[in-house]
Amino acid sequence: MSDVDPIIGNWYRNQETGNDFEVVALDEDAQTIEIQYFDGELEDLDLDAWYELPIESIEAPEDWSGPFDEMESDDLGYEKEEDAAKDEDDVSDEDDLLADHDED
């Protein structure tokens, strides 16, 4: 059914179930594929089963950290400058609100 090849690190969607998953390992000798669903569940498939599934390639989810319970925001690959800029914006918004309140 599927002509999509499994590639480690790529994300896919089972079109029947709607489940998103990432290929985390391939064993060419055993002809098996290990996948990890977004919720963290692992599953092994044989290569023949892979090609029988209605699978489509998808972009990685924006928050791909779903399977990782104890992940810090630093581990997500976001730049600290982005976080600092957001914090500065929040502070300036609060200052504006306080200034508006003082004028009343």
Global pTM?
A: 0.60
Percent of the chain with pLDDT over 90: 51
Please provide the CATH number assigned to the domain covering 1-66. 2.30.30
Spacing of C-alpha 2 from chain mean position: 22
Residues 6+ apart with CB under 8 A from 76: 65
Name the band, by pLDDT with cuts 50, 70 and 90, for residue 71: very low
| Length of the chain measured in residues | 104
Please state the rounded mean pLDDT for residues 89-93. Answer: 53
pLDDT in tens, 17-51: 999 999 999 999 999 999 999 888 999 999 999 99
Structure tokens at 41: 């569940």
CB 20 within 8 A of CB 38: yes
